[in-house]
Every structure is written in C-alpha cells, then in structure tokens.
C-alpha cells in the first residue's frame, strides 16, 4: 500500500481540503480558491464530466435568488442562468384536466429549472480554472483527525493517500463521512428523519420536437396523499417526479396496474408520457427514499466545518435544498471577511449564524411536504391574493414568493414574519366577522322587525276575514 503525505507546514499558504465534489463542494472550492487558499477537492466518485452514467440523485433543481447570488460571487450566474428555463408560476393540474397557473411572485419574477448533472459539471470546470486548485476523484475518505487535520483516503486500486489540511470543509452529502467524526464529540446534536414517501422519476418526451406542455411552469398534480411534479429541460423534455408512500409504490406490480393507476390519478399525463414508457420506466428503479437531517454545531474547533446536505439535508418540497447549500458558501465567505480568515473565530460564528436558518428551512420543507399534496386551487389562490394585496399597501410579504425565494432574508426571520403575518390576517378576519355580527345585532336592536311580519299564514288569513266583516 503506497502512502503519500502532503503537509501544509512547507508553505505559508493555508491548505483547505473540501471533501465532496458535488454542487456545494465544487462551488465552495471556487469561493476558497478565490481567497487564495491552496484548495484540494476530494470526491469518492469518478469525474462526472467523463462518466457515461452519472450516479446519484437526479431530482431536477429550482434555482432561485439565494443560489444565484452565490453563483454571481464567483462569476457563474450568467452562464448557469442561460442554461436554465424560467418558471414564472406553478401550474396546478386538477383531476379533470383543468390547468390553473399560480404565479410565484410579481411580474417578471421567476425561478429556474436547471439540470443537476450539468450544473455540477460546470462548477467543477470552473473550479479547475484556479491555479491553486486540485481536483481528486476516486478518493473515499477513510479517517480524519480533528486535532491534526490529517486525512486518509482509500482509492479503488487499493492505494491510500494522506493530506494534512489547515481546514477541512465537509460537503459530502446527507450521509457525510466527515460528520461521523462529529458524532464522537460531546455536545453534538444530530437527528435524521425519513419521510414515508419515496420518489420516482419519469420522462415526458417532446411532441413534434416541442415541449409537450407549457414550458415556463412548474407543473403540479396534487392528489392528497401523493403528488406528481414536472420540470422542463433544455432538450424539450419534462422530468416528472412522482412522490408517493412506499406502500403505494409496492402495491403496483404490473404494467397494466401502472396504467390503471395513472388513468385514475393523472389521466392527462398518459398520452404525454406514453403508455409503453410508463409500463417500462415505472419498474426501472424502485421508489427512492428522502431524508431530513439536522445537526448542531456545524464545526469542530478551528479545523472542520460542515456545509450543504452534510449539515442540513432537507426534503425537496420547498425547492431550497441547493439554494440553502449555495447560501452556506456565501455566508461563510462573508464571515471570513468579517473576522479576517481567523478560523478559530470564523467557524463558531458560522455555526451560531447559520444553524437557526438551516433548521428553519428544514422545517419549512417538511411543512410544505404536507401542504402541497393537499393543495386546493381555490383556497391557495385566496391565500395568495390576500398576501399579494396586502403587500401592495402594508408591509406584509408572502413567505414563499417574496422572502424565501426572491430575497436573502434569513430563513428563521422569514418564518417569524410569516407567523406574525398569519396572526394579523387571522385577527383581521376574526375582527371582520365579529364586527359584522355586532353590526347586524345593532341594526336589529334599533330597527326591530314588525310584529306583522312575524305572524303565521293562518293568522294573516283570519285577520283578512275579520277585516271584511268590520263596517
């Protein structure tokens, strides 16, 4: 077994090791290299830019303001935006086939549908442009020390590599190898929650070379206990993702049962996806699990920090997983500026600032997991109209559209404002109803109804008869 060791002691330039070459790891490497550190990225998989099949999650991504600001900081925003498709609204598909758009924000505001694999490739290529950057693939982390910063990596050919870093940045996903070391430390809180729903991806091909549905929308088929969504791709396809309890996935065992299920729940999608494709693709992979991860703190001493899914994996129902991970990078960079790159101060401050926000977006994602499935077009439209109309006159702001999606308002502050706003709206509705009841009561007291108006038909007939007999 060959072992190579590199030490940061031979140079005054600080060595930063980024473990994980996914979206957040690749972007973070750009941030750190831009600062002048000697950066090495270690990824357990092969280079996805050369791989014929890209392994890993493939749920399409919705890029919004937070993610765009992080990309802008490293000069990548325009390039990535040009490779995305704007989605100006949700398009709700009813069981009867009616389509109803619900805008995300004000006119001109939109989120972007972006391809996960392509975005990852672009970020790796950008990182590789820095002269103080080295990308290492096929490097699986075996062990690391929080005291010395020494890391050991295994390779598929049986060899090992060691590196000593001044800072280790764990960006290696929801099942982080870096985070395992945190579990050995005292006063480290950790929880993970699997939801009972899984997901399955299907493809809606183009029709005559064009999109099968209107492309500038995030299409949603809400069906109470489950739902399907569809996001547009540059090749004119839609990636459809079916979210459903695992027990429901398991009930469907034949191609005919697949078609029967879709005819009952998503009839308008069958001719667009195709009967044969549904029968084939439904059984290509089983339903995939989704997990929510929370932990605190995000750092150990001045040697290691967690970011992205390694720190806060979230379920995908709020469209903020990638955006929150990208914002981690820019928040860390801002704190580095604030404390002059002093890791002993930067890391604990990053935990203090970022943990409440990441926990808040994890909670919001779980909340939306329940809400979106039960979405009713009438009630949702009414709520959005109330939010939108109040934003034009008083400082109310729709949580999703204006704070989470289109600003960098801290997630936990957005949640506080949302709760406050809901209380005010509910109180307003209560006062309106109470005022209406009191007003009606006052009118009745001041203008009591005529006794004649309260007599029975029989009494009225008797009065008429007796009136005729009177001289």
**Distance in angstroms (rounded) separating the CA atoms of residues 289 and 252:** 17
| pLDDT, tens digit (0-9, with 9 covering 90-100), for 27-54 | 999 999 999 999 999 999 999 999 877 6
Q: Which of 96-105, 376-385, 426-435 has the least mean pLDDT? A: 376-385
**Looking at the DSSP assignment, which residues form a beta bridge with residue 223?**
226
pLDDT at position 437 over 70 = no
Compute CA 54 distance to the chain's CA centroid, rounded to the nearest angstrom: 21
CA-CA-CA-CA torsion sign (174, 179, 184, 185): negative
3-class secondary-structure state, position 313: coil
DSSP-derived letter for residue 395 is: S
Dist CA 344 CA 347 (whole Å): 6
| Structure confidence at residue 422 (pLDDT) | 60
Burial class (CB in 10 A: 0-12, 13-18, 19+), 330: buried
pLDDT of 103 > 90? The answer is no
| Nearest partner of 59 among 119, 118, 115, judged by Cα | 115
As a whole number, the mean pLDDT across the chain is: 86
Q: Residue 17: beta bridge partners?
A: 40, 168
Contact 259/283 with Cβ under 8 angstroms?
no
Q: Tell me the pLDDT tens digit for each residue of 153-196.
A: 999 999 999 999 999 999 999 999 999 999 988 899 999 999 99
Sequence-distant (6+) residues with CB within 8 A of 188 are 182, 295, 296, 297
Confidence (pLDDT) at 4: 43
The mean-pLDDT minimum among 8-12, 321-325, 354-358 falls in 8-12
| pLDDT tens-digit readout, 370-413 | 776 665 544 444 444 444 433 343 333 455 556 888 899 999 88
Name the residue with higher pLDDT: 354 or 402. 354
Q: Is the pTM of this model over 0.75?
A: yes
The pLDDT value recorded for residue 468 is 47
Cis amide linkage into residue 306, ω under 30° from 0: no
Give per-residue pLDDT as tens, 52-82.
Answer: 776 555 668 999 999 999 999 999 999 999 9
What percent of the chain shows pLDDT beyond 70?
79
Residue-wise pLDDT for 206-248, tens only, equals 999 999 999 999 999 999 888 999 999 999 999 999 999 999 9
Helix (H), strand (E), coil (C) string for 189-258 = EEEEEEEEEEEEEEEECCECCECCCCCCEEEEEEECCEEEEEEECCCCCEEEEEEEEHHHHHHCCCHHHH
Residue 136 pLDDT > 60, yes or no?
A: yes
Specify the pLDDT at position 361: 94
């Amino acid at each position: 077994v060959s072992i190579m060791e590199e030490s940061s002691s031979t140079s005054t330039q600080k060595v930063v090791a980024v473990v994980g070459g996914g979206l957040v790891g690749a972007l973070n490497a750009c941030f750190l290299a831009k600062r002048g550190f000697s950066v090495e990225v270690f990824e357990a998989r092969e280079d996805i830019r050369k791989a014929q099949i890209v392994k890993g999650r493939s749920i399409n991504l919705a890029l919004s303001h937070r993610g765009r600001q992080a990309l802008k900081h490293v000069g990548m925003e325009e390039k990535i935006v040009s490779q995305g498709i704007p989605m100006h609204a949700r398009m709700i598909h009813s069981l009867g086939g009616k389509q109803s758009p619900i805008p995300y924000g004000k006119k001109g505001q939109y989120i972007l549908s972006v391809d996960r694999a392509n975005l990852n490739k672009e970020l790796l290529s950008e990182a590789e442009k820095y002269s103080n950057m080295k990308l290492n693939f096929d490097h699986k982390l075996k062990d690391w020390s929080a005291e010395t910063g020494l890391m050991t990596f295994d390779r598929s050919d049986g060899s090992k590599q060691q590196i000593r870093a001044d800072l280790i940045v764990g960006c290696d996903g929801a099942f982080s190898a870096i985070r395992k070391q945190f579990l050995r430390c005292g006063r480290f809180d950790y929880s993970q929650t699997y939801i009972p729903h899984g997901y399955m991806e299907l493809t809606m091909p183009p029709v005559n070379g064009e999109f099968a549905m209107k492309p500038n929308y995030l299409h949603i088929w809400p069906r109470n206990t489950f739902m399907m969504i569809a996001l547009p791709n540059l090749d004119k396809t839609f990636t459809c993702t079916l979210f459903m309890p695992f027990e429901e996935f398991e009930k469907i065992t034949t191609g005919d049962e697949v078609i029967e299920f879709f005819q009952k729940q998503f009839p308008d999608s069958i001719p667009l996806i195709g009967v044969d494709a549904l029968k084939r693709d439904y059984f290509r992979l089983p339903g995939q699990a989704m997990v929510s991860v929370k932990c605190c703190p995000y750092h150990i001493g001045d040697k290691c920090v967690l970011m992205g899914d390694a720190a806060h994996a979230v379920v995908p129902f709020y469209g903020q997983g990638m955006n929150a991970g990208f914002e981690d990078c820019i928040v860390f960079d801002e704190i580095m500026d604030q404390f002059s790159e002093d890791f002993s101060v930067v890391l604990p401050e990053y935990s203090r600032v970022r943990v409440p926000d990441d926990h808040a977006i994890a909670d919001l994602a779980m909340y939306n997991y329940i809400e979106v499935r039960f979405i009713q077009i009438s009630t949702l439209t009414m709520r959005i109209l109330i939010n939108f109309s109040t934003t034009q006159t008083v400082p109310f702001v729709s949580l999703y559209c204006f704070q989470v999606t289109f600003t960098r308002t801290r997630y936990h502050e957005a949640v506080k404002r949302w709760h406050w706003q809901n209380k005010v709206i509910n109180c307003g509705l209560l006062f309106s109803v109470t005022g209406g009841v009191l007003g009606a009561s006052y009118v009745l007291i001041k203008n009591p109804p005529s006794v004649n108006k309260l007599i029975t038909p029989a009494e009225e007939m008797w009065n008429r008869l007796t009136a005729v007999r009177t001289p």
